[in-house]
Amino acid sequence: MRDVFVVGGAHTPYLGKFHPDFIWKKHPDFGTRTNPNTEQYIRTIVADTFAATGATGALVDKAFIGNFAGELFDNQGHLGAFVAAADPGLVGKPITRVEAACASGGLALSNGVDAIRAGADIVLVLGAEVQTTRNAMDGADYLARAAHYSRQREIDPFTFPALFARRIKAVVAHTDTTTDDLALAAVKAYGNANKNPYAHMRAYKMDLAAAKASPTFLQNAELTDWLRVSDCSQVSDGASAVILASPKGLEKLGKAKSEVVQILASVIAVGAIDQDPDPLVMATVKAAAQRAYAEAGLGPADMQVAEVHDCFTVAEVLATEALGFADAGQGARLLRDGVTALDGRLPVNTGGGLVAFGHPVGATGVKQALEIFRQMTGQCGDYQLATPPTVGVSANMGGDDRTAVVSIYRAG
């Protein structure tokens, strides 16, 4: 099996409501300027990624783009042909758009890893999403297409928040986790994002009192008390990309192994969407993690940093359990004990996670890989870990634990 390395990459700022640069009715430029569309995000992220890594369109052998719902939010599918339009050197290259809801970016990453193993030397992996073109109710309807729409849409106008409120209700009933623990997760996320210039919520403060006082919003009477606005990830626009390379690709780019990060495993697991998951367990994430650890020859105790898919605060708790950092039902202890804080033993979501870095759906799984790279190479600025980690893991999830992509990284 050929070795696969992350050479570097780029993020755009993640934009949306409460970001100072996001154009909406309360912004002074409202009516005179608009936010970037998907095409513009793709152009920007390709150019920035080439600038950051020394890659060029001509050097790229293959490309993968993760995007969930461009057809709905931006009237645009066939996004591979927008990647080709982003750089003259990319015209004619093999470019594949992949989709697995919120795991679209992870799918792009994992298929990019396979492309290297199949013979490519330099692979461009990007994710992009625009979601702020529609109002919240329409957006929630679009996002429900990541669930089993005909079966699950009616649980609430906000289908996905309701599905995760159901998890919170079950987790609080059956484990030690409390809603105060989930407030701690939100405070950690916002605190980290406040140190991150790319974060959607970089300028929005959230202390424990604010998190506990955050309003509920679901219409489903059995679920509404269980989910606060502060428990939710953001409706963000944005893009992230990485360049992957084989050993020969590193030579072409003039990179030493000491400058890059190896991907030891990148495993996709997919569950059956016609069945409701056990609300206490992220079984698909766990299955992907177990295979990824086995492929990498490492285990949870080896991990020094993690990016997990906190689409809702409870998902961070359950993901840390699925990754083996805590026993079943005990994930919240990591938050209480500060284990997953920036100065903890195993920092999780150092840039703010989906809750506060933001969640431009198709970009998220790619962002996770770049965040691990940036921590390992000391590029995280105000949220840089004191000792750059050398081993880490990312866990990207689509739907309610229906697609999972778990990747294991080691500094070169």
Which residues form the interface with its own copies (CB under 8 A)?
A: 1, 37, 39, 68-72, 75-85, 90-101, 107, 110-111, 114-115, 117-119, 142, 144-150, 153, 267-275, 284, 287, 398-399, 402-403
Residues 19 and 62: beta-carbon distance below 8 Å = no
Dig out the tokens for 35 from the structure.
């936010």
Cα separation, 339 vs 272, in Å, equals 33
Measured at the alpha carbon of residue 200, what is the angle toward residues 196 and 206, in degrees to the nearest 5? 80
Question: Measured from the CB atom, is 70 or 347 closer to its own copies?
Answer: 70
Question: Measured from the CB atom, is 191 or 324 closer to its own copies?
Answer: 324
What is the DSSP code (8-state) at residue 151? H
Measured at the alpha carbon of residue 372, what is the angle toward residues 54 and 201, in degrees to the nearest 5? 100
The active-site residue out of 19, 148, 200, 359 is 359
The burial of 17, by beta-carbon neighbours within 10 Å (0-12 exposed, 13-18 middle, 19 or more buried), is given as middle
Dig out the tokens for 377 from the structure.
């190479």
- The secondary structure element, H or E, covering residue 135 is none
Residues 296 and 343: beta-carbon distance below 8 Å = no
Question: Measured from the CB atom, is 19 or 62 closer to its own copies?
Answer: 62
- Ordered strands of the 238-245 beta sheet: 62-66, 122-129, 238-245, 5-11, 261-270, 403-411, 391-398, 305-308
In the complex, least distance from residue 115 CB atom to its own copies, rounded to whole angstroms: 6
Question: Measured from the CB atom, is 100 or 183 closer to its own copies?
Answer: 100
* 298: number of Cβ within 10 Å: 17
In the complex, least distance from residue 376 CB atom to its own copies, rounded to whole angstroms: 25
Question: Measured from the CB atom, is 290 or 390 closer to its own copies?
Answer: 290
In the complex, least distance from residue 367 CB atom to its own copies, rounded to whole angstroms: 19
The active-site residue out of 102, 232, 311, 380 is 102
In the complex, least distance from residue 220 CB atom to its own copies, rounded to whole angstroms: 20
Cα separation, 348 vs 326, in Å, equals 13
In the complex, least distance from residue 46 CB atom to its own copies, rounded to whole angstroms: 12
What is the DSSP code (8-state) at residue 230? G
In the complex, least distance from residue 217 CB atom to its own copies, rounded to whole angstroms: 23
Question: Measured from the CB atom, is 165 or 361 closer to its own copies?
Answer: 361
In the complex, least distance from residue 79 CB atom to its own copies, rounded to whole angstroms: 8
Strand, helix or coil at 147?
coil
Nearest 5°: phi and psi at 8?
Answer: 145, -170
Is residue 102 annotated as part of the catalytic site, yes or no? Answer: yes
Residues 377 and 388: beta-carbon distance below 8 Å = yes
Question: Measured from the CB atom, is 23 or 72 closer to its own copies?
Answer: 72
In the complex, least distance from residue 192 CB atom to its own copies, rounded to whole angstroms: 29
Measured at the alpha carbon of residue 340, what is the angle toward residues 396 and 380, in degrees to the nearest 5? 75
Cα separation, 40 vs 288, in Å, equals 33
Is residue 359 annotated as part of the catalytic site, yes or no? Answer: yes
Question: Measured from the CB atom, is 11 or 402 closer to its own copies?
Answer: 402
Only one residue has tokens 């083996």, namely: 324
Q: Specify which residues 83 forms β-bridges with.
A: none
Query: Which are the catalytic amino acids?
Result: 102, 359
